[in-house]
Structure 1
Amino acid sequence: MRAIGIILAGGNNHRMRELSQKRAICAMPIAGSYRSIDFTLSNMTNSHIQKVAVFTQYNARSLNEHLNSSKWWDFGRKQGGLYVFTPAVTAENSNWYRGTADAIYQNLSFLKNSHEPYVVIASGDCVYKLDYNKVLEYHIEKKADITVVCRDMEAGTNVERFGTIRMNEESRIEEFEEKPLQAKTNTISCGIYVVRRRLLIEMIEKCAEEDRYDFVRDILIRYKDLKRIYGYKIKDYWRNIASVDDYYSTNMDFLKADVRNYFFKQYPDVYSKVDDLPPAKYNPGSQVRNSLVSSGCIVNGVVENSVIFKKSYIGNNCVIKNSIILNDVYIGDNTHIENCIVESRDTIRANSYFVGEGEVKIVVERNERYVI
């Protein structure tokens, strides 16, 4: 593909509450065995983008560990590869990334040293499948300066936390509002953009000169009347996990047969870093209904409508309902957990009771197995 990829993976979000205290949003576990960023990385490699940069910043240790080898997504090659950029102190600059445009500006040499004519920019906190080649073909056909991937959201969705757009009959964007107080349309930006590399360099340098730091506000919204900015609508599954409720419902979506079939049985595939773990073990007396149970788990109790991530232990007479149990959790005997997200590496003592009433409860317990 005649494009390089940039994945924006540096942000934090207070709407994730305690879940973002350990990791970046893009490193959040999804569907039992994946991380959020795996879906964007898989889309990049499946679209034959050979050179991809990931811009990380906030709480990046877990994310950097996940990205320590590019072979899982087939980026380990002589030409191209996977590059992870964190903020660096230089003679000209000593700031953290102050926004998405500033993140690109601080790594502008990556763009200038590349030779591909186009750039695909995507966020790493969304769950979807997309062939970026089709977006690029549309971009070229429309003679667009920038193409924004967008989607019509279902009725009842809170679109005010997204960027909302309005297009004319030719799909040219006429209005772009970032997190409006009152949305005028249910068409939102998916945070995926295609732009010509030289134009991107020019606009990013102009932003830096004027002390502007945000890609959406200071480029897309500012240039919407000056540049040819078009929308490319998608209809397939797309979810953003930037809040606890969205993260919970996205994982629960994978309990639906059609969603699992779409992601795991239909081409192209979704790739992730693989751990060498034994299969899940179900001891006598265990009952599992409509749940995902990952490798390395041992189940002794009842699991219903739940997602159990890797290396978790569920004790005798436990009841786990409508919950997400993250990696490496030990749940003691006679414990009841319902409508909860249990943080990774927790130790839940025997005879505990956690139920989320009205909203999803996040359970964070001290892990006594690792205390020195």
Structure 2
Amino acid sequence: MLTNYLGIVSLTENENRLKSLTATRPLASIPIFGRYRVIDFVLSNLVNAGVTNVGILVPTKSRSLIDHVGTGKPWDLNRKVDGLYIFNYSYEPPSTSDIKLLKSNMEFLLRSKKEMVIFASSHMICNIDFEDVAKFHEESGAEVTVVYKKIANEDELFLELPTLILDQNSNVMGVGKNIGRRTTVNISLDMFVLSKEFLIDCILTCLENGNCTTFRDFIYKNIQNINLKAYEFKGYVGCINSISSYFKVSMDMLNVDIQRELFSEQRPIYTKSNDSPPTRYFSTCEVENSFISNGCLIAGKVKNSIISRGVVIEKDAIVENSIIFSKCIIKSGAILKNVILDKNVVIDENATLIGHNKNPLVMEKQSFINLSQLKEVKRI
């Protein structure tokens, strides 16, 4: 167990291609697979490896994240010693500089008795054993170890992400960007292992030179001066960096093999619990290859879809290849295919919404559901 490690989760991720889902929330708190949030995976990976001290760097728009993570109780991080810390949660103008966030909260690093750091982002969906990564790092003698995934056939999920050029001994010799021209690339997963002392030195050097705003940029711009090793992760990885990638990763989770790997009994994924009654399935419903959360009323047809808590799907409604966030109402006769409904959306009777299977139609979050709309929901 990594009792000498602290975790830092930096949420300074590029949300430009996710604006329909991140208008009121950070990428990390986007709902995924019905009952989870994106950040649940990296937090669970850390605590499953024995990390008990985690700091989350949040640039802005963090109300939903604070509501979900809370004191860290689902991850056993509500502790008197160490535990969970969330930094810079406010509605101030957004910042993409985790170096500034770290400098502003340097006391977190200095007060921690941990000597090693796992530095990660939230947008990589995987179930990784950080104990294996830490062991590789310690045995290699590297100053920094970065985790990567070898991707064949230029998977479109990983476009624009950093690629690593490696030698035969897993040393990082150069860093590029995946623009879709190579058949095989080594994609950086934005996960790093290093000493706390080295991290503090990186922060101070960045502030002194003023040429890097993020920790990741500093590492990649100084690979000639850093002993940087790469650890290959061979399991499933989904990257959330666009609406299409979010849709594909979500649909991947309906694959039983991927589902078993991500939600392993040995390394479970924890999340905030929500005490809801069981979903009620009416005699008129048809459900095929779908994940349906608790608290729903299902009377229509659901196929290849992910349904969050508290959703109502009336009789004769059809939901196919779609993702429905919590408390949506889909009325009788409505047809939805390749659609993402954010929270509290009401779809009228006999409405038809059809998107492309690689570019789904997104209905943005509604701040509330009108009481008159609730009254109009037919008894199923």
TM-score by length of 1: 0.93
- C-alpha distance in 2 between matches for 1:220 and 1:299: 50
- C-alpha distance in 1 between matches for 2:163 and 2:234: 16
1:73 counterpart (45, 60, 75): 75
The sequence identity of aligned pairs, in percent, is 27
What is the match of residue 108 of structure 1?
Answer: 106
Task: Tell me the CA shift for residue 316 of structure 1.
Answer: 1.3
After superposition, residues 231-242 of structure 1 pair within 5 angstroms as 231-242=230-241
Task: Tell me the CA shift for residue 16 of structure 1.
Answer: 1.1
What is the match of residue 224 of structure 1?
Answer: 223
Task: Tell me the CA shift for residue 345 of structure 1.
Answer: 1.1
Stretch deviating more after TM superposition (70-79 or 244-253): 70-79
- C-alpha distance in 2 between matches for 1:32 and 1:150: 28
- C-alpha distance in 1 between matches for 2:366 and 2:87: 32
Cα distance change, pair 87–287 in 1 and its aligned pair in 2 (3 A): closer
Instruction: For 2:141, give the aligned amino acid.
Output: K
Can you give the 5+ residue segments of structure 1 that lack an aligned partner in the other structure? none
2:17 counterpart (15, 18, 33): 15
Stretch deviating more after TM superposition (148-157 or 288-297): 148-157
Cα distance change, pair 325–51 in 1 and its aligned pair in 2 (3 A): same
What is the match of residue 325 of structure 2?
Answer: 326
What is the match of residue 126 of structure 2?
Answer: 128
What is the match of residue 84 of structure 1?
Answer: 86
Please give the secondary structure, in 2, of the residue aligned with 1:161: coil
Task: Tell me the CA shift for residue 331 of structure 1.
Answer: 1.0
Task: Tell me the CA shift for residue 98 of structure 1.
Answer: 3.9
Task: Tell me the CA shift for residue 140 of structure 1.
Answer: 1.0
Q: For residues 177-214 of structure 1, what are the alpha-carbon distances to aligned partners after superposition, in whole Å with 9 as ceiling and x for unaligned?
A: 25668669510100100011101101111101222312
Instruction: For 1:19, give the aligned amino acid.
Output: L
Task: Tell me the CA shift for residue 371 of structure 1.
Answer: 7.0
What is the match of residue 242 of structure 2?
Answer: 243
- C-alpha distance in 2 between matches for 1:20 and 1:12: 11
Aligned residues: 367
What is the match of residue 32 of structure 1?
Answer: 34
- C-alpha distance in 1 between matches for 2:355 and 2:87: 38
Please give the secondary structure, in 2, of the residue aligned with 1:82: strand
Instruction: For 1:362, give the aligned amino acid.
Output: V
- C-alpha distance in 2 between matches for 1:348 and 1:341: 12
Please give the secondary structure, in 1, of the residue aligned with 2:152: coil
- C-alpha distance in 2 between matches for 1:87 and 1:277: 29
Answer yes or no: is the 8 Å Cα contact 1:5–1:44 preserved in 2.
Answer: yes
- C-alpha distance in 2 between matches for 1:368 and 1:181: 41
Instruction: For 1:122, give the aligned amino acid.
Output: A
- C-alpha distance in 1 between matches for 2:79 and 2:368: 42
Please give the secondary structure, in 1, of the residue aligned with 2:326: coil
Q: For residues 265-297 of structure 1, what are the alpha-carbon distances to aligned partners after superposition, in whole Å with 9 as ceiling and x for unaligned?
A: 431111000001011110110000000000111
Task: Tell me the CA shift for residue 97 of structure 1.
Answer: 3.4
Q: For residues 343-371 of structure 1, what are the alpha-carbon distances to aligned partners after superposition, in whole Å with 9 as ceiling and x for unaligned?
A: 11111111211001462111237566247
- C-alpha distance in 1 between matches for 2:183 and 2:350: 50
- C-alpha distance in 1 between matches for 2:294 and 2:94: 38
RMSD between aligned residues:
2.1
